[in-house]
Amino acid sequence: MTLLLLIVLLVVAWWLLGRDHRSPADRDYEADERNRMPAELADGKLVLSEQYRRTDVPRKLGARFDQVFLTPDGRLVPVDTKRRRRTRVTPYDQIEVSVQGAVLRHGRPGPLSRYEVASYGYLRIVRESLPTVYLRFPLLGDCELEALVDRYQGIQSGEVEPRAARSPAMCRKCAYRADCSADVARLR
């Protein structure tokens, strides 16, 4: 009798664990999202999600990862999600995801250290009432990030003169606007 009860419990547990508990709407959403993904992400594996990590190389940097995928050929690719209508990669996007690339190269968790880090990343742009798009772009390397950090610190300390930004939009979001004589948005 005890054996019979055990078998029944095991069958129930197997049935419950093996079932797909997602609702039809969730399943449709996931299938739709997968169809829009680049093949290497759709066929890859999600290995990091919503995690903050740091590195001291090439400079002290920290990054919050939205998602990192392991492609079928063994590369780690950062994917950053933005909710907006505009479907282009800005210099700010490139720097943000490049920092994620540097943190992956120098500060990825042990089990991921045997994989190569891709020299590119993706921006996943979620648009209201429009299909999600994935944009691939090259990541900045360590030397380029080093130069950016040094320049940023130089501007903060007053040793480096800021250059005028390439567009007024950059100035409108800038934290140093109040003290900057090169503010393009104000000068135009």
> Which residues make up the interface to ligand SF4 (CB under 6 A)?
162, 164-165, 170-171, 174, 176-177, 180, 182-184
Token representation of residue 24 = 């039809």
Q: Which is nearer to ligand SF4, 91 or 109 (CB)?
A: 91
Q: Which is nearer to ligand SF4, 37 or 185 (CB)?
A: 185
Closest CB 178 distance from ligand SF4, rounded Å? 9
d(CA 30, CA 112): 25
- Exposed / middle / buried, residue 66 (Cβ in 10 Å: 0-12, 13-18, 19+): middle
Closest CB 140 distance from ligand SF4, rounded Å? 18
Q: Which is nearer to ligand SF4, 14 or 176 (CB)?
A: 176
Closest CB 145 distance from ligand SF4, rounded Å? 18
Closest CB 94 distance from ligand SF4, rounded Å? 16
One-letter identity of residue 166: R
d(CA 129, CA 116): 36
Map 39-89 to HEC letters. Answer: HHHHCCEEEEEEEEEEECCCCCEEEEEEEEEECCCCEEEEEEEEECCCCCC
Q: Which is nearer to ligand SF4, 75 or 177 (CB)?
A: 177
